[in-house]
Every structure is written in C-alpha cells, then in structure tokens.
Amino acid sequence: MCRFKKLLISLLIFSFATSSFGARIKDVASVQGVRSNQLVGYGLVVGLPGTGEKSSKFTEQAFATMLRNFGINMPAGQKLKIKNTAAVAITAELKAFTKRGQKIDITVAAIGEAKSLRGGELLQTFLKGVDGKVYALAQGSLVVGGLGAEGADGSKVMINTPTVGRISNGAIVEREVISPFSQGDSITFNLHESDFTTAKRLADTINNLVGPNTASLLDATSVRVLAPRDISQRVSYLSTLENLTFEPARGRAKIIVNSRTGTIVIGQDVKLLPTAITHGGISVTISENREVSQPNAFSGGNTEVVESSTINITQEDSRMFKFDTGVSLNDLVRAVNEVGLAPGDLMAILEALKQAGALQGELIII
C-alpha cells in the first residue's frame, strides 16, 4: 500500500512534465468495465390535442390497464376514444457510475398512428435493462422540435419529426449498475481502434513513467496495467494515467469514396506505383526530381537532398496520365483539380488504379 502511495506522488510530479503533443490515453482508449447501459420502456403520452391514436388495440389495452391501476374498471366491450393518447417507446442511456436518485435524459418516440407528440405528457413508465430489471422511472412533459400540418384535401407540411421528443432529466435512477472498476489488481485499457503498434506505444508510455512490467500487452486492443486496490488511490492513479500523452500509430493507407455525395478522403500514406491511365483528352505528367540544398557559407547548416515534384498539364490527343515511382495521390488530386475534372472522374481513376494494382492503399466505396 505504501508503495502505491509513493508511486502516486511520483506520477503527479511527472504528469506536469509530460509533453502536450500527441494524443492522451483517454482520447484513444477506454477502461474496460466502465461503460454505459441502454434502457428501454413502453408507456403512454396523454394530453395531445387530437393528434394521438385513431384505433390501436395495444394502445387501448395499455390505456385500460392504466385505468385499472387507478381502480377504474371499464365495461367489457366498450370502445375507447384515445385520440388524445399515444403509445410510445422510451429509450435512455445509463452512464457508468450513475447513482440512485440522479436524473437522466430520455427520448420518447411514437410507435402507433399518432401524428404528433407536441404538448403531450408522459405518464410514469418503467425503464428496464437487458436483464429485465427496472433501473429508472420516467415521467414528464415532452419537448418536441418537429411540427406538422395537414389540410382537408390531403396536402400536408412537416418540419423535422413531430412524433419524437425528449425530456431533459426525465427519468430518476432507482437501481445502480455494479461496475468491476474496483475489483482485482489491474485495470485494462481498450483501444477504440485496434492496432498492434498503438497498443505497444501505449504500454511503453506507461512503463517508462511508472516502471517496467507495469503495463502488459494482451492483444492489438487491450493493455493491462497494474493498479492499487484502494479505490481512492485507484481513481487518482487512473486520473494521471489517462492524461499521459503518446504518439499513436498511423492507420492503414485508405481512400474513402462516398459515391452519393462525391466526397473523397485520401490518407497521407497512400502511394502510387508506376502506371499510366487514359482518361478523356487530358495529359498529366508528374515527375520526381532530387535536388541538393546547399546552405550559405558560415551559416552552420547542413547540405541536404530534397524532393522536387514537377507537374505538366496539357490538353491534347495523347490522353495519358503518367506517374513515376513513389508519386503520392496528393499530386494526382492536385493535377485533376487544376484541369477541373469532376469528382466522378477522380473516382473512375481511383478504381482503375486499384484494379491495375498500382494503388498502395485500401479503396473503400460507401
């Protein structure tokens, strides 16, 4: 126990000296077991100005059950008029460490023929988890951002969605979710994006600060870190670790093409192999030259070899895109933009390059 106290003091001292560059651990990873839980419920919204259900068996059944709970029994076979009532589904997110008595936001959506929930009041509803247990009670007045209007001839205007609303702090938590955060002798960081290199760098960052063998790799996603058992010390310990910065690995070379909007996103590591493509009446030639950069006399600089790209564009009968080894797609996109080609033309070029095996990167079309 004393060892971890000294360790926490050392971590607090070193945390002020860590670099502000790179990514924080809390931005690229989450702690295993510290997670949200989804809640769902079924209820009734009342007080609608005639925009509720027309005739729905399950809404009538729910309405009759509600009346029975208040000691009111409806005669058998009586037709209920429920145009001021709507059956709704309620959803909410119970965040980690939320305590009993705290309030959470809820979303309410109509599941029947209701035209609008504007002006409605949600009656008390149980919100259950995946285990079937009740974790919160929901109730309150809805805030609906949508609006709809309909004429006698059938014409109608709708703004946003009038059948969905929210209630801020509309549910009171009645049951807590037990978190495994305080259990065991270690905590585990799970990367948001699995990567072996990033996982190793995260573990190395912690080991360099805390000590060897403090963090160990489990796989490309998880890094296990030794932690104190005392919950107060563990919270302070994690607070320091999650703010450590390191340099995550660069992701795989990717090109994302949205065929609907024409949006194209190209990663910085995408490269082209020597190739030539015919496309329309445009000729684009990209050449790479190496030049020597010589510093001025007595300047103290070093002589370096720098890369120089030359792009020549002509519009003639040759109709050829020509690329040398190592040319980046940035050069291709710049050349295409200069001659005013549409995004669809660039998509066609990228697909042809991939099929020809001249594109070093993953082409993803969505």
d(CA 238, CA 236): 6
Dump the DSSP string for 184-251: SSEEEEEESS--HHHHHHHHHHHHHHH-TTSEEE-SSSEEEEE--SSHHHHHHHHHHHTT-EE-PPP-
- 275: number of Cβ within 10 Å: 17
DSSP state of 255: E
**What is the predicted pLDDT for the residue at 30?**
92
**What is the predicted pLDDT for the residue at 175?**
93
Predicted model pTM: 0.66
Mean pLDDT by 10 residues, the chain (366 residues): 48 46 87 92 89 73 71 68 85 94 94 86 93 94 73 56 91 91 90 92 92 91 92 90 89 78 75 66 59 63 64 54 59 62 71 76 79
Domains, the chain, ordered by start: 2-34+180-246 (3.30.1360), 37-173 (no CATH), 254-365 (no CATH)
d(CA 223, CA 227): 13
**What is the predicted pLDDT for the residue at 206?**
93
**What is the predicted pLDDT for the residue at 31?**
92
